[in-house]
């Protein structure tokens, strides 16, 4: 069987698992025929077929990958990447997700059936990466971003070669969340709109409200949660102890009560000097209190 036919079958099967037919008018058997038997009409149907689905979007990677690989040889970069992916991909499969694309040492995955599974996967990923023992590599900056929204899936190519393509602002949002995790002392950042889809989210998972981000493409403020089940035990304990004080500070900051908010974040830092999110808030409170340009009446942490 030719590579082209094998690829077409893989694309078809992959899309069916997401409840989406690439070739809605063609049975699977037609894809096993020799390439010459596939008509131009079938090719056009494949290339013109797209489907929008709601899904939880997960992006997992190292926030410092570009810096780390500068000190590695090419063969070590491949070993580094494969060490990480060998941990991530089985978790995605076990939880009913689909690996959509690869980037650096990371992966974007879609969960279109059970949205909660995306967060369960994120936690499992962090726990697996936390215990990797390899003196040659540093995995400390591994992190995950998760959100939920509409995803457009389609097939691209020239009629001879094909590949699936996912287009959505939410894949970009998941990557953005992952990219700012270290800034806010987090391993897993998720949106509140995603958390709302999980039954008993606050009871089943350990989290703290980080604050608000303004999403320019979606034209809305979105709450962000740090889910710290994927942190080390030491960090989890520190966040549990400071959770109420931290979230009270977040609320005061959102009310533009910057001086009062600052006092709360200073108390958090007394308990945990490593809390970078609290440090960021102290910095923002100082800027906002002095009415510096672009900080006046600020209620959010980030703009995306």
Average pLDDT, integer, range 199-208: 95
What whole-number percentage of the chain has pLDDT above 90? Answer: 63
Q: What is the pTM of this model?
A: 0.84
Task: Answer yes or no: is pLDDT of 35 > 60.
Answer: no
pLDDT at 249: 98
Average pLDDT, integer, range 169-198: 97
Lowest mean pLDDT among 86-95, 114-123, 217-226, 233-242: 217-226
Domain with CATH 3.30.70.1230 in the chain: 49-230
Residue 245: partners with Cβ closer than 8 Å, 6 or more residues away: 264, 267, 268, 271
pLDDT at 195: 98
Average pLDDT, integer, range 15-33: 41
Task: Answer yes or no: is pLDDT of 6 > 70.
Answer: no
Average pLDDT, integer, range 102-115: 93
Distances (CA, A) of 265 to 172, 268, 304: 30, 5, 24
pLDDT at 186: 97
CATH code, 49-230: 3.30.70.1230
Q: From CA 173, how far away is CA 11, in angstroms rounded?
A: 25
Give the model's confidence band at 46: pLDDT under 50 very low, under 70 low, under 90 confident, else very high.
low
Q: At how many degrees (to 10) do helices 74-94 and 116-130 cross?
A: 140
List beta partners, residue 224. Answer: 191, 211
Buried b (16+ CB within 10 A) or exposed e, 175-214: bbbbbbbbebbbbbbbbeebbeebeebeeebbbbbbbbbe
What whole-number percentage of the chain has pLDDT above 70? Answer: 83
Average pLDDT, integer, range 232-243: 97
First to last CA, the chain: 46
pLDDT digit string (tens) for 247-268? 999 999 999 999 999 999 999 9
Q: From CA 242, how far away is CA 102, in angstroms rounded?
A: 36
Region of 139 please: left (phi>0), alpha (psi -120 to 50) or beta: alpha
242 vs 139, residue with greater confidence: 242
73 vs 205, residue with greater confidence: 205
Give the model's confidence band at 153: pLDDT under 50 very low, under 70 low, under 90 confident, else very high.
confident
Give the model's confidence band at 16: pLDDT under 50 very low, under 70 low, under 90 confident, else very high.
low
What is the residue-averaged pLDDT of the chain?
A: 85
Q: From CA 152, how far away is CA 202, in angstroms rounded?
A: 30
pLDDT at 5: 42
């Amino acid at each position: 069987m030719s590579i082209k036919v094998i690829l077409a079958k893989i694309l078809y099967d992959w899309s069916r698992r997401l409840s989406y037919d690439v070739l809605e008018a063609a049975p699977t058997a037609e894809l096993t025929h020799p390439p010459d038997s596939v008509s131009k009409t079938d090719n056009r149907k494949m290339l013109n077929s797209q489907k929008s689905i709601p899904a939880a979007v997960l992006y997992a990677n190292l926030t410092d990958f570009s810096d780390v690989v500068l000190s590695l040889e090419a063969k070590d970069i491949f070993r580094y990447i494969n060490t990480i992916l060998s941990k991530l991909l089985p978790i995605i499969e076990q939880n009913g997700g689909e690996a959509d694309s690869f980037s650096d040492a990371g992966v974007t995955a879609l969960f279109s059936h059970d949205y909660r599974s995306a967060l369960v996967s994120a936690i499992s990923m962090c726990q697996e990466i936390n215990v990797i023992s390899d003196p040659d590599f540093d995995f400390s900056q591994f992190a995950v971003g998760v959100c939920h929204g509409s995803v457009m899936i389609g097939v691209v190519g020239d009629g001879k070669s094909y590949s699936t393509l996912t287009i959505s602002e939410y894949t970009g949002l998941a990557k953005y969340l992952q990219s700012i995790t270290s800034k806010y002392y987090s391993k897993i950042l998720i949106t509140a709109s995603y958390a709302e889809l999980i039954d008993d989210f606050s009871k089943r998972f350990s989290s703290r409200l980080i604050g608000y981000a303004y999403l320019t493409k979606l034209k809305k403020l979105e709450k962000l949660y740090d889910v710290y089940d994927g942190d080390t035990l030491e960090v989890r304990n520190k966040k549990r102890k400071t959770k109420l004080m931290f979230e009270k500070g977040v609320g005061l900051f959102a009310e533009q009560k910057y001086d009062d908010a600052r006092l709360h974040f200073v108390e958090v830092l007394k308990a945990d000097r490593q809390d970078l999110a609290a440090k960021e808030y102290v910095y923002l409170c100082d800027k906002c209190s002095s009415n510096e340009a672009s900080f006046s009446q600020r209620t959010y942490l980030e703009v995306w």
